Amino acid sequence: MSKLIVSFIFFISISVLSQTSVQNPNKIYVCPPCASSCDTIEFNKPGTCTHCNMKLISKEQLKKSTPKRKKIAFYLQPGIEILDFAGPMEVFAYANFEVFTVSKTKDPIISQGILKILPDYDIKDAPQADILAFFGGNSSTAFNDAEVINWIKTQQKTQYHFSVCTGAFALAKSGVLNGKTATTFHSALNKLEKEYPEINVRKDVRFVDNGKVITTAGISAGIDGALHLVAKLRGFNEARKIAYHMEYDKWTPGEGLILSDDNPYEKIKNSKHLETYTGIYKYLNNTTVELKMNTREKSLYAVVDGMNYPIFHVKNTTFTNIADHEITFIMDKNKDITGFTSSEHPNTLFHKLSK
């Protein structure tokens, strides 16, 4: 089965054999920016990054395809909950957001009595951010600080506010949540409701999206909220790729209260049409691949040697895989799927063998 996996470049993101048949010795390949040290490494052939396993792209592609990076400020206070900020930080780093940390001062922060953090900025010299993010842990002290709350109020050019757990109290205290719907850590819901009657507190949701303000429940829910924000800004497929890379297979897209018009999951509400593509297909060297529905994500995935690899719908009968190879399915006159072609093997039709 190992030969099967290696040959299945079509579906596998970690294959080092994913490259064109003719190499241009002068062409330079790089890792798509992921906010890691490998962003500065150059390669002389296509394939995957040996550090983060992302597919390499040419420098020319990088210049054409890289969107403007969103700047997101993580406000960190002494006693902050580690996973509250570390989970979303992982998501936003994969999404190529420019993440930086801010605290009231530049003094070291101790998180949960374990982790020492050195903030990048304090509230006096922090640059303007597109997104401000707040997290739980010692929030009753941190967010009753007049200087901190005043700093939040002065960030007039902020496009989005994001909170995890009791980080919602920073947004409540600064007035960002006035007249809005919000959620927070389960043991703090009643306190938020009592202290801020102008906020519609929801106790039964994983996150709340008001459009420009997103609040999440506690700890792990921050990952869901972060993936949701990426889906809003970069698209559902991008969020799904990040969830796959993080091996966060508990994510249910849209598992929150979405009150905004820009719902990134509108297109997947009716995913029944994807069932047409499920089945077993012939592939190279007398191998086969099976496409199945992921009912949780309402999307397709390929099964190879017991492992699942996501397939991303682009439009009509066109999809891409985790390595960004384009896949086009062929229909007969009855609109039944008969096979597919791929950008890697454009002259070969891979027939569908069974449903």
Output the domain CATH number for residue 102. 3.40.50.880
Q: Using the 8-state DSSP alphabet, how is residue 160 labeled?
A: E
- Tens of pLDDT, residue by residue, the chain (355 residues): 444 443 443 444 433 333 333 455 578 888 776 656 677 788 887 777 776 656 777 777 766 555 689 999 999 999 999 999 999 999 999 999 999 999 999 999 999 999 999 999 999 999 999 999 999 999 988 899 999 999 999 998 999 999 999 999 999 999 999 999 999 999 999 999 999 999 999 999 999 999 999 999 999 999 999 999 999 999 999 999 999 999 998 899 999 999 999 999 988 888 888 999 999 999 888 899 999 999 999 999 999 878 899 999 999 999 999 888 999 999 999 999 999 999 989 999 999 998 7
The residue to which tokens 């990040």 are assigned: 242
Last residue of a domain, one of 65, 85, 102: 65
255 and 312 in a common domain: no
Query: Across-strand partners of 75?
Result: 102, 134
Q: What are the phi and psi torsion angles at 353 (to 5°)?
A: -95, -35
Last residue of a domain, one of 216, 238, 265: 265
pLDDT at 297: 92
139 and 25 in a common domain: no
Angle, CA 33 vertex, CA 28 and CA 36 arms, to 5°: 110
Q: Which residues neighbour 52 within 8 Å (Cβ) at sequence distance 6 or greater?
A: 31, 34, 36, 38
83 and 210 in a common domain: yes
341 and 276 in a common domain: yes
131 and 146 in a common domain: yes
How many other CB atoms sit within 10 Å of the CB of residue 339?
17
pLDDT at 49: 76
97 and 214 in a common domain: yes
Measure CA 162 to chain center: 15
CA nearest neighbour of 100 among 79, 80, 78, 130: 130
How many other CB atoms sit within 10 Å of the CB of residue 211?
13
260 and 291 in a common domain: no
pLDDT at 24: 58
- Residue 326 sits in a domain whose CATH number is 2.40.128.50
Last residue of a domain, one of 265, 286, 310: 265
328 and 201 in a common domain: no
pLDDT at 59: 73
168 and 232 in a common domain: yes
pLDDT at 52: 60
CA nearest neighbour of 11 among 319, 347, 314: 319
Q: Using the 8-state DSSP alphabet, how is residue 285 labeled?
A: G
Strands 181-182, 200-201: pairing kind: parallel
Torsion of CA 315, 316, 317, 320, to 10 degrees: 0
Tell me how many domains the chain contains.
Answer: 3
302 and 200 in a common domain: no
Distance CA 5, CA 78 (A): 47
The whole domain housing 136 covers 71-265
Q: Is the Cα dihedral 259, 260, 261, 266 positive or negative?
A: negative
**Radius of gyration of the chain from its Cα atoms, rounded to whole angstroms:** 23
Q: What pTM was computed for the model?
A: 0.82
CA nearest neighbour of 183 among 156, 158, 205: 205
pLDDT at 263: 94
pLDDT at 306: 81
Sequence-ordered strand ranges (E) for 82-129:
98-103, 109-111, 115-117, 121-122
Residue 316 and residue 327 in contact, taking contact as beta carbons nearer than 8 Å:
no
pLDDT at 34: 60
Distance CA 153, CA 184 (A): 20
pLDDT at 41: 84
Query: Across-strand partners of 110?
Result: 116
Distance CA 198, CA 192 (A): 10
316 and 280 in a common domain: yes
226 and 178 in a common domain: yes
